[in-house]
Amino acid sequence: MQIEVAYAEAEFQYLISLSLPEGSSAQDAIRASGLLEQLPGLDLQINKIGIFGRPCTLDTVLREQDRVEIYRPLQADPKVVRRERTAAGKTMKKGGGTSRYRVARSAQSDS
């Protein structure tokens, strides 16, 4: 069966296509990809994995055309970041940017 293994660093992305026997697990795919040898800092006890964005375990049996993704640990807790933004008076704009000021629009009537 054909599968892919994906891992992204800040500056570089790895996408490795593999052919594995039926019944192979996510761990089998990661080992066969060679990423553990190429990236010594990659630790499957720390890094979480998923298939197409859905969390899974190392023993999850793969299906044809699955993409096993290895996730990096979060740099910051999202709850803490939101709390800090609120404390600093910043808000999130649509699309993920930040804005220093809240803009209120007032409705004017021509009466």
The CATH number assigned to the domain holding 32 equals 3.10.20.280
Q: 3-class DSSP state for residue 4?
A: strand
Q: In this structure, is residue 102 part of a structural domain?
A: no
Q: In this structure, is residue 83 part of a structural domain?
A: no
Q: In this structure, is residue 38 part of a structural domain?
A: yes
pTM of the full predicted structure? Answer: 0.67
Contact 5, 30 (CB under 8 A): yes
Q: In this structure, is residue 95 part of a structural domain?
A: no
Tell me: the pLDDT tens digits for 8-46? 888 889 999 999 999 999 999 999 999 999 998 888 888
Contact 11, 75 (CB under 8 A): no
Number of structural domains found in the chain: 1
Range of the domain at 59: 2-70
